[in-house]
Amino acid sequence: MVDQAERLRLLAEKMKQEAKQKGATRARVIAVTSGKGGVGKTNVTTNLAIAMAQAGKRVLVIDTDLGLANADVVLGVTPQFSLSQVLKGEKAIEEIVVEGPAGVKLIAGGSGFQELISINNPRLSRFLSSLEAMEEMADIILLDTGAGLSKNVLSFVLAADEVIVVTNPEPTALTDAYVTIKAIVKKSPSARPKLLINRAGDEEEFHSAQSRLVKVCQRFLGISLDVLGYILDDPNVSRAVKSQKPFLLAYPGTPASRCLKRLADKLLGAPVSKTTSEVKGVRGFFGRLVRTFSSSTAS
């Protein structure tokens, strides 16, 4: 186990050095996560991707949910291959990408992320080269993570440049969102997750819900929670899901769609945090992901 952990640390360092040697252009890697299932995380991720694409950005969604991956269902596409085939050297990145509505691209992660643990040097070199293609095809990469606080979910969240925590106004969902934020900040004290309240009955319910979380995070975690905004509860969302169409395209003028467009505009207009210690973009993300895997292996 120790030997494997050391090998993973060396792999992470190699990815970091590879990233530094490349140009300054970096895709913005945003993880979308939630403390519990059923709050609409995948719906938010896929429709946010479409809103950003409509705003002129090249957007790539990577489904990192190792258990209940369903971003493809919401986008109405059927991936034949996943990242696993790239790591095995069977496919190039370009061959596993599926194009969905509004030009949004999707990569099914599947077991490919776990296979990073056992990748050998020849395959690693090919994989590092393939990351350049991924960087070139997207301005923004959205990671649709699993729900909850498993090691896998936290690994993806901590490796991303930015994190959006999706919840709804229900007390249990807010409690789970707080636990998620607490876990993120405990592992990465400088992290500042963004909060998104989904299925808010109205603006008053949103303010009540976010106010509770903001106060708890300030009191017990000592952080000022970044509140991204809200999406109103809208029956058209479930109608779109049943027809396997993103609600932003199926019902563009409804309350949920208008809210989501505002959220996309806010995200795109927000300055991206810069740090000198961490490499951004795809290579930085995979390097940090391998480091978290190595920590799990060592412990």
Q: Round to whole Å and give the CA distance between 61 and 255.
A: 24
Please give the mean pLDDT across all residues of the chain: 85
Higher pLDDT, 11 or 139: 139
Higher pLDDT, 24 or 115: 115
Digit-coded pLDDT (tens) for 97-115: 999 999 999 998 766 566 6
Phi, psi of 108 (to 5 degrees): -85, 120
Quick one: average pLDDT of 218-226? 96
The strands making up 162-167's β-sheet, listed across from edge to edge, are: 98-99, 105-108, 59-63, 140-147, 28-34, 162-167, 194-200, 226-232
pLDDT at 134: 85
Q: Round to whole Å and give the CA distance between 94 and 12.
A: 24
Lowest mean pLDDT among 25-39, 69-83, 117-131, 219-233: 117-131
Higher pLDDT, 221 or 90: 221
Is the pTM value of this prediction over 0.75?
yes
Q: How confident is the model at residue 213 (pLDDT cuts 50, 70, 90)?
A: very high
pLDDT at 128: 72
Q: Round to whole Å and give the CA distance between 250 and 232.
A: 16
Residues 173, 35 contacting (CB under 8 angstroms):
yes
pLDDT at 274: 47
Q: How confident is the model at residue 298 (pLDDT cuts 50, 70, 90)?
A: low
Kindly tell me if the per-residue pLDDT of 277 is higher than 60: no
pLDDT at 209: 98
Helical (H) or strand (E) element with 231: strand 226-232
> In whole angstroms, how far apart are CA 56 and each of 49, 104, 159, 299?
11, 11, 26, 44
| Per-residue buried b or exposed e for 36-70, using 16+ beta carbons within 10 Å of the residue's own CB | beebbbbbbbbbbbbbbbbeebbbbbbbbbbeebe
Q: Which domains does the chain have, with CATH numbers?
A: 2-298 (3.40.50.300)
Digit-coded pLDDT (tens) for 48-93: 999 999 999 999 999 887 666 789 989 999 899 888 888 788 888 8
Q: Round to whole Å and give the CA distance between 35 and 181.
A: 9
